[in-house]
Amino acid sequence: MSSAYPRIRRHEQGPAGDVLVRREVIQLVLYLPLNHHALALPIQRALDMYLDAVGTGPEIFSEYSLGYESAVLHEDSWSNIRQILSTSDEEYFLDDEEDEQLRLMQQKNQCDRMVELSSEERGVTGFGFFYWARLSWRVPPKNQMSLVSFSWPTEYLEACGPGRMREEMMALAALLPYASGHAGLAFSSPNLWGPSMKDIHEDALRYPGLDVTHGQREMGTRVDGVHWLNFLGPEVSSHVGGAEVLRSRLHSPSSTVQSLVDGRVLVSLGLGPEAGDLRRGDTLPAYRELARVLEPWLFSFPEHMSWRDCPLDAAHRWWRRFLDE
């Protein structure tokens, strides 16, 4: 494992001068097969745990969004955030909504609610929180998930060490009823649609250990690629054969399989995350081995996915980076 991570920083000129708009981070993404009513308390507890560790000052977060418009984050903004994350005692279903305008608005937004904490205007700090709750139909569309993500700058990892970083992310994951999830190096992105790849696609293809997506809404019991930490919920773990089968099929000395509570499994690829570097022949063999083992359950390349202003096959090559020679 390398002791340092590639510094990938992109700046743009804004009204206040040079602003950092893209950088590498450590990111935890969890897929949650429930509506917001069942997730409200776990999400609030996880957010509190995260904020207790990283802080809430303007050097951490400067903006928030409860939809698609960002606003400056002030001390009194937290009450708005807490309100959107709260829920009533009675479960709400969109099927029962009598206000047609409200129902249509939620359908247009494609989610029940959304909370985003970021620092885009003042320059990306590397810290981020994103929660997307699926529409609360009585019978949700097949495979649709809610999801949550947390991010930290790589400097945070280097300061606390990969062991402490792993413990923090495991503690967050333990609070949430995930179907699957993952953690590792990624490009910063505060929202579901991921970063613009125009200026970073070459870095993405060079460093296979850096994730570029921010989750798939239709994940179901599929697995979202291969990462440093790979969280498998009970159903997904059962599909792949459980901890013992995974241990028998993973031979890399850096790979470990840990049984967790409630039938969950955590597959760790090394003591810390690795970026790899194809220019130097570092193809991340442990990642490639796990990808081959999990291939039947991996989320397939979305045929509509493309990277604007990038080579036509770049997105597909990146998606298959651990599977194709």
Whole-prediction pTM value? 0.94
In whole angstroms, how large is the CA radius of gyration of the chain?
A: 19
- List pLDDT tens digits, range 125-166: 999 999 999 999 999 999 999 999 999 999 999 999 999 999
Average pLDDT over residues 217-230: 95
CA distances to 154, 162, 176 from 3, rounded to whole Å, are 11, 10, 30
Q: Which tops the pLDDT comparison, 229 or 302?
A: 229
Q: How far apart are CA 174 and CA 166, in angstroms?
A: 12
Residue 52 has pLDDT above 80, yes or no: yes
Q: Which tops the pLDDT comparison, 87 or 2?
A: 87
Q: What is the pLDDT of residue 2?
A: 44
Q: How far apart are CA 83 and CA 54, in angstroms?
A: 22
Q: Reading across the β-sheet that carries 24-32, which strands appear in turn?
A: 70-72, 63-65, 113-118, 128-133, 146-153, 24-32, 180-187, 229-232, 265-269, 255-259
- Domains of the chain by residue range: 10-319
Contacts of 85 (CB under 8 A, 6+ apart): 40, 43, 44, 47, 113, 115, 131
Q: What is the pLDDT of residue 195?
A: 65
Q: Would you give the DSSP letter of residue 279?
A: G
Residue 1 has pLDDT above 50, yes or no: no
Residue 3 has pLDDT above 80, yes or no: no
Average pLDDT over residues 278-283: 96
- List pLDDT tens digits, range 87-116: 988 888 999 888 888 888 888 888 899 999
Residue 248 token pair: 């028998």
Q: What is the pLDDT of residue 123?
A: 87
Q: Would you give the DSSP letter of residue 300?
A: P
**88 DSSP β-pair partners:** none
- The band of 259, judged by pLDDT with boundaries at 50, 70 and 90, is very high
Residue 175 has pLDDT above 90, yes or no: yes
**Helix (H), strand (E) at residue 316:** helix 314-319
